[in-house]
Chains A and B, each alone.
Chain A
């Protein structure tokens, strides 16, 4: 059981480049989330999805886009990368009710540097 898988683990982007961070879960979770963690800070919600075909903005959505075509996949797209997007990105998933009692299952993160 792989849980939540994120790829790549590390990436260096030049300013203005674009990329997609991949996230896949094999637990049949309805809910999926993208968070970013800046140094010394907590996790900030970028986008989330409550099911295939449904996405919504979180606290810091600017500069990002998402799609949810299947239950398993929730890719995060960065268009026109900026140094402010240098961060560690975490994908997470949960069942609708289990997020309250059992928390989220997180991936191991993607460390992105924009230079």
Chain B
């Protein structure tokens, strides 16, 4: 499976600021996704990151709050904008390679908003 890295691994941010999270894969992948895992909760899909076009957002998530870029087949960023304490979560990227059916996840970014 692909090796997936995320930066930063964790951060503590102030209310009202923005943080950009990077997801880097060591090989070209077919699909990339961003998930949120709120404290003590399960994973919720934020959006599908589309290469060269706008991301596809799930219900309850909007581009102004979570802008996503995917400039090529190995890299994506998720920005959490105008943060509030409710945004404190683990943010994970996942990928699907080739025609495979399995999503593989990055190590996650633990965000705390004060």
The answer to whether A and B belong to the same complex is no
Q: Taking beta carbons and an 8 Å cutoff, which residues of B are in contact with A? A: none
Q: Taking beta carbons and an 8 Å cutoff, which residues of A are in contact with B? A: none
